Structure 1
Amino acid sequence: WFRHNSQFSGAQKIEAGTSEHTISISEGGIYYCRGGRGDPVYSTEEISDVTVKEAIPSKPTVTLQPSWTQIYSGETVTVRCEIQGGEGAQWTYEWRAAKLNTPPTSNEHRIIRATESDSGGYSCRGRRDYFFSEWSDIITLTVSSSKPRATLTAQSSIIPAGGSVTLSCSVEGSAGWKFDWFRRDSQFSGAQKIGAGTSEHTISISEGGIYYCRGGRGDPVYSTEDSAPVTIQKQVLAAVKLQHSWSQIFTGETITLRCEIQGGEGKVWKYEWTAPNTNSPPTSSEYRISRVSVSHSGDYRCRGSSDYLLTGWSDAFRLTVSSASKPRATLTAQSSIIPAGGSVTLSCSVKGSAGWKFDWFRRDSVSSKAQLMRGNEANRVISVSQGGLYHCRGGRGDPVYYTEDSSDVTVTETLSPL
């Protein structure tokens, strides 16, 4: 029995002078045999060669690089034939592919800018001398002609004050994507990339704006269509404050409530108010009420919006307008007699409220006209050294709201002896 590895190699005798007419072989190659008998041996002619091919025990595997089987027109993918245990050997590869007019003989088939015609099943086998592998299982590649669009979803369209919102980007029906994230300050501003090529499909944001995303995968990178934009607003805090510091308001006064927005400096805001006793609340930051009445008592709230910032409704500011009659100032004197060469201190007050400034009046007698001595005094105390009838009043706000005049207080001047 004889064997050679190829048509051009020398034959090797693998078995000699056996009386058995059969042998078992486990290697591929070119085999032939001859018979012999007698002594000396008489040999027959050699029979024609028989070629035996050896199948390796391991079936090849077709893999895709990248690994996804659903791809899109324009993507690049490599189909690879892998033979387990065949490392280091010089293999020639055979391919079965629906659209390969000239199948490659290497273990890789690179599809650049795939089209729908590249869709189909791919299988392979390896050949080495007289060794043939089995055909691999078929892997099916699907190429879609329509470019996919990324989808952006938001956990919420409003970022709570001091908080954040999670955005999610996805591409339906396929895998392997990395994501780019973009933000615009307004509909007319350019987009800024805020995250590039991240394998995470979510990001956390704490600023309002217009957001969108897109997916990309492969080398060179194949990008999806941009997602539809999502508008996110950031919430900041609003508060209603009374411009004046006094808590007790009297009928007829003019007051101003102000909507203050924390962190809203430098923005152009639109304001909304809720208030009692009004059908058309203002749209500015100030709510001015001239000549308030008891009907204006109640809760006042405000909120604002600016670009991609907004506030929730502020906490209620409770305004109480007193139903009592106009307050009267009270004048008291340190003494009713001015000592010779001395002075007396007068004090003016308005019971139960604050913020007053004071006007001081004097007249010589009950029948004479009072003269304004000093006006708009922040100090509620003055000193006088001249006798007469004195009274005072309080005033506050803009325009000024005046109390009723105090009762007269008579101060007598002591004359110095001659």
Structure 2
Amino acid sequence: MEVSPLSVLLLLIVLFQCGQTEEIPKPILRVDPNTTVYTGDTLTLTCDLQISLTGWRFRWYKDSQQLNPLTEYKDTNTLSITASDTETAEYLCIARRGHGGVDYDSHYSAPVKITVEIPKPTLRVDPHTTVYTGDTLTLTCDLQSSVTGWRFRWYKDSQQLNPLTEYKDTNTLSITVSDTGTAEYLCIARRGHGGVDYDSHYSAPVKITVAGKPKPELRSSLKGATLRGSSVTLECVLDQSAGWRFYWTKHTQNPQNEFSTETHSHTISSVSVSDGGQYWCKAGRGDPVNYTPYSDALWVNVTDLDSRGPGSSSLAAGVAVGSSLIILLIILSLVWCCKKNKGGGSLWLTSRNKQNTSQRQNLAGPEDTVSASTPLQSDAPAESSDVTYVAINLKSKKKPKKKQDLGYMPEEKTTADTDQKTIYSELKLNTD
């Protein structure tokens, strides 16, 4: 059986079409930068057809709806879109190639889910959320978005902070706080694209507490006077010392005479007389520097003698011992005088308020009798009742003559009785 050339040609065409059907390519859809994006973000959809043949054209679909309806197919395999609606949608693509007046389509790519969200910035406060009046703060509206062109706005207690401008091109805002109290701050971002504005969510509110400037307390490591040559440390004490620089001045509160330290202490290793005087301290932080008030003045007294040493105690002890010796010498002198004048006697002390009037009446002779109602003359003030007298009984050493034993006792007084005299002497005791 003969085979005509026409039959052979038709057979070759059928075989060729069958081979093409078995090798239909399937593209891969890639999304850049991420499959989860924010409103206003720009996405790039790439329909990657891994085949060496050229002349392919491409088309994309979102939820089975063609993305670029104005053109049947796009000559390049990339498509840029702006995410505008907050949603999750499925995207896919297909490729087509014409040859010999016949269009050959690829398979559809596997669908890719893209989620579009509204971004929410984070408000950061530098350096602290607890500050003092006069401090400068930096508010940063941090938006995690891959695209640029965002503008920002800040609010304090629902009131716009920068009313003169709708939005600020940069995401930082510097403010100087002046009013004490606690306030809530937040921010928002906006981006325009294709004549449409896309707003972010508001950030979470951040509380900032402003307190009055603290007044430091100046302390010294030594109490009282400072010995020349010794070491003394001055401390400028604040409740929160982190982040502060400390400034010191002497004699006057003059910034031109100040010197500063990184820490809150200043040590004078060897004190000299010129180091004495009044000292003040204050603290400062930030740029520009926000200063606290000066502390109260602290006196540093420099001396060569330690008034707190044992000298003062020795002096007090010496005074006490000297007073006791003086009293003892007075008593011994009185005793010696009595012995010298009368040859003997007895000595005792009696109080002026408790004088025994009977002792005064034992004086021999009416001319020596002291009346009990007559006060003794004294140089002491009349109002003092703590005067002590020394009463001295003088007795003669002559022994009385022995009488003959007549069997009775004569009524006359013996010489020993008549020779006894009592002398009072006023003794002043220094009890100071």
Greater fraction strand: 1
With the shorter chain as reference, the TM-score category is 0.3 to 0.5
Greater fraction helix: 2
Structure 1 length normalisation: TM-score? Answer: 0.43
